[in-house]
A and B are shown apart, each in its own frame.
Chain A
Amino acid sequence: DAKTTQPPSMDCAEGRAANLPCNHSTISGNEYVYWYRQIHSQGPQYIIHGLKNNETNEMASLIITEDRKSSTLILPHATLRDTAVYYCIVRVAESTDKLIFGTGTRLQVFP
């Protein structure tokens, strides 16, 4: 079973920030939070990951709460091309641990 819970769907207006929440209350001390997205009919695309500090890259920002039981992926200026299913996953970094995907959040960006 997936170790994370996410809302099934969200809407966001183009140009606005999209904030996608994820709960991972049973996360272990050595587990990272990973975010992927899957655009229809394509393989999942890695977005970002973090352990306990907030992270930012060219695609998104990741905010992890101090107790590490939840996190938020932020797309600062959503575009129509950001419409996708977003998956939040916890695992030990770069290990052979199984990467278990939940059902994710379907983000719809509208004009």
Chain B
Amino acid sequence: SQTIHQWPATLVQPVGSPLSLECTVEGTSNPNLYWYRQAAGRGLQLLFYSVGIGQISSEVPQNLSASRPQDRQFILSSKKLLLSDSGFYLCALNDYNSPLHFGNGTRLTVT
């Protein structure tokens, strides 16, 4: 079965510091991978999605970037965090045999 690993579960970072969140998946090949963010009390916002290695589509202009160096690895990064980057970051995947499946997320607090 498909499994999504996200770490860390919680993270506190100062403003201006870099960020790297990693998502790895198992039980699938060539999946579509997604990064969503949920600000406190808000809905889910799609940030990036990827249909293959090195292929990244950005949905909103922002302080973040994404990379997919391997088929089952999706990384969310920032060079300098802003207070507004705080939120709940979720990695998700789907393939042609399954609906979208979410990981357990990383709760980021920028102080």
Contacts and interface: CB of A to CB of B under 8 A. Distances in A.
A46 B32 contact: no
Given A94-B94, A96-B49, A98-B59, A45 B102 contact: yes
Interface of A: 34, 36, 41-46, 49, 87, 93-94, 96, 98-104
Contacts of B36: 101
Contact of B103 (A43, A46, A49, A104): A43
Contact of B100 (A42, A46, A103): A46
30 contacts: A34-B99, A34-B100, A41-B88, A41-B105, A43-B90, A43-B92, A43-B103, A44-B44, A44-B90, A45-B102, A46-B99, A46-B101, A49-B99, A87-B44, A94-B94, A94-B95, A94-B98, A96-B32, A96-B49, A96-B51, A98-B46, A98-B49, A99-B34, A99-B46, A100-B46, A101-B36, A101-B43, A101-B44, A102-B43, A104-B43
Contact of A94 (B34, B51, B59, B96): B96
